[in-house]
Amino acid sequence: MSESALSATAPANDPTFENVWDEIVWRGLVHVSTDQEALRELLGGDPITYYCGFDPTAPSLHLGNLVQLLLLRRLQLAGHKPLGLVGGSTGLIGDPRPTAERTLNAKETVVEWVGRLRAQVEHVLSFEGENAARIVNNLDWTAPMSAIDFLRDIGKHYRVGTMLKKDAVSARLNSEAGISYTEFSYQLLQGMDYLELYRQYGCVLQTGGSDQWGNLTSGTDLIHRVEGVSVHAIGTPLITNSDGTKFGKSEGNAIWLDPEMCSPYAFYQFWLNTDDADVVDRMKVFTFLTRAEIDEYARLVEAEPYRRAAQKRLAREVTAFVHGVDATTAVAAASEALFGKGDLTALDAQTLRSALRELPNVEASVDATVAQVLFDTGLVASLGEARRAIAQGGVTLDGVRVDDEGALVTGALPGGVSVVRRGKKTLAGVFVSG
């Protein structure tokens, strides 16, 4: 496909699907759900109100949350009305993790994080038209409620035996850490959220990760007991790589949506490095490309994997959706230039410095030699090896071959940096001072 075909796609559902339910099933977004026939009829009929909750247990959402944001947007594009819930109260507790208790954050911290997550949710949804999105905070209805009212109005409808069988709870009960009453009660709070949204807005569908299924059904069960009606839930699959490893984790670090926590360049590179075995499935979940377009990229992966056309399109699409077209254009240019397919001097300083932070890098003074920098960044094992590499013509500085073993780094690129390269693909960044 031509380079012009790599521009970002405007969010839209695939018109070849009769019902948005059929599309989200094809994209692999339904791992578990309430009655599927009822859901298909519901999503193919008049607009409904639906919601997904995001707890501020960190200052940013991550790739797992992005699955939910995209599902919210897809359903909105089909004419339905989204509620984005930011958990000002549930974020003070946190849902049970499989192995240990969460560290409770200060109330002031949670308030700050609520604002940051709210902005990220607002970035994805549309707040215009007849099905405009609405952001809600469960602290609004939880804070005024007394403990006695909570136990009488909500707790009365739960059975401890059923609560103990929930996967998140049973996993903790069988661990050394056990589970506190605080985290044990989380499923009641999430169930109450669904009940409140049903009463206020007529909300009849909740989405979330399949690892949250116990909390999702907490709400459907509560509404059935209290209101005598059936509402629905969809649990999306936990995204894993073809080798079985958890998606979006690298040495324990999440891929955050906040550019201050994960730079647009690092975000772009994450998608660019997607394995051939995973890239088509990632396109289905994380882009708005049509079925026909994705089928064509699947063909290219089989026929011309060396071109990595699918990975390039995936990286551009998702980065543009999260960080915008301008930032994506800048980081794509930086990626090309760093690997010898563009002009390093034409890059903007901020993007270049950000990109070099993702490579082996070192801070050096203006009198530092290229040989020393090669050693300090780990591109060679010794100064002797550095000098031999230079003598053999295998080292470049800012895209120009280095012939003199005494050559100095210059910091001549935008932002006062330099790029050293050994061979074709081994690079390091130099932040020059003085």
Domain harbouring 388, CATH code: 3.10.290.10
Rg (CA), the chain: 25
> What confidence category does residue 9 fall into, taking pLDDT thresholds of 50, 70 and 90?
confident
433: in domain: yes
Residue 64 located in a structural domain: yes
Check residue 106 and give its pLDDT: 95
Determine the average pLDDT of the residues in 47-74: 96
Identify whether residues 224 and 367 lie together within a single domain: no
Predicted pLDDT at 376 = 95
State the residue range of the domain holding 387: 359-434
Angle made by CA atoms 159, 96, 243, in degrees to the nearest 5: 120
Is the confidence at residue 377, as pLDDT, over 80? yes
Give a yes or no: residue 160 inside a domain. yes
Residue 303 lies in a domain: no
Residue 280 lies in a domain: no
Is 249 part of any domain?
no
Last residue of a domain, one of 203, 236, 269: 236
Place 390 in a pLDDT band, splitting at 50, 70 and 90: very high
The structure's pTM equals 0.91
Q: Which residue has the tokens 């009929």?
A: 45
4: pLDDT strictly greater than 60: no
d(CA 120, CA 124) in angstroms, rounded, equals 7
CA 326 to the chain's CA centroid: 19
> Average pLDDT of 205-213?
95
Domain boundary among 236, 267, 288: 236
* End-of-domain residue from the set 236, 265, 280: 236
Helix, strand, coil share of the chain (percent; to 5): 50, 15, 35
Q: Check if the beta carbon of residue 56 is closer than 8 Å to that of residue 114.
A: yes
Contacts 24+ apart (CB under 8 A), 168-177: 168/95, 168/96, 168/97, 168/98, 168/211, 168/214, 168/215, 169/96, 169/214, 171/96, 171/98, 171/99, 172/96, 172/97, 172/98, 172/99, 175/98, 175/99, 175/100, 177/99, 177/100, 177/101
As a whole number of angstroms, the distance between CA 50 and CA 131 comes to 11
Q: pLDDT: is 124 or 165 the higher one? A: 124
Give all strands of the β-sheet with 232-236 in edge-to-edge order.
32-33, 232-236, 203-209, 49-54, 81-86, 134-137
Residues in the chain: 434
Task: Note whether residue 311 is domain-resident.
Answer: no
Angle between helix 349-357 and helix 325-338 axes, rounded to 10 deg: 60
The pLDDT mean for the chain works out to 93
- Asked whether 396 and 410 are in contact (CB, 8 A), the reply is no
The CA-atom distances, in angstroms, between 319 and each of 37, 244, 262, 268, 335 are 35, 24, 12, 6, 13
Question: Mean pLDDT across the stretch 387-396?
Answer: 94
Domain count, the chain: 2
* Phi and psi at residue 406, to the nearest 5°: -100, 10
Tell me the C-alpha distance between 51 and 87, whole Å: 12
Q: What is the pLDDT of residues 105-121, one digit of tens each?
A: 999 999 999 999 999 99
Q: Hunting for tokens 């215009």 — which residue is that?
A: 128
User: 């550019």: which residue's tokens?
Assistant: 259
Compute the distance between CA of residue 180 and CA of residue 101 in angstroms, rounded to an integer.
8
Residue 383 tokens, joined = 């100064």
Amino acid letter, residue 132: A
Looking at the structure, tell me whether residues 367 and 229 fall in a common domain: no
Contact 155, 148 (CB under 8 A): no
In a domain, 210, yes or no: yes
Spatial separation of the C-alpha atoms in residues 379 and 422, rounded to whole Å: 7
Q: How many CB atoms lie within 10 A of CB 156?
A: 10
- Strand boundaries in 147-260, DSSP class E: 203-209, 232-236, 249-250, 253-254
Are the CB atoms for 53 and 85 separated by under 8 Å? yes
Q: How far is CA 108 from CA 56, 57, 112, 351, in A?
A: 12, 12, 6, 33
| Residue 222 and residue 89 in one domain | yes
- Residues 260/262/268/274 CA torsion (nearest 10 deg): -170
| Confidence (pLDDT) at 285 | 98
- Tokens (6 digits) for 25: 């099933």
Residue pair 35/21 in contact (Cβ under 8 Å)? The answer is no
* Confidence (pLDDT) at 2: 38
Please report the pLDDT score of residue 429 as a whole number. 95
Q: Does the pLDDT at position 131 exceed 80? A: yes
**Nearest-5° angle of CA 267, CA 272, CA 273?**
100
Q: Read off the pLDDT band of 5 (50, 70, 90).
A: very low
* Predicted confidence (pLDDT) per residue in 186-203, tens digit: 999 999 999 999 999 999
Tell me what pLDDT residue 387 has.
Answer: 94
pLDDT at 156 over 60: yes
Question: What are 71-108's pLDDT values in tens digits?
Answer: 999 999 999 999 999 999 999 988 888 778 888 999 99
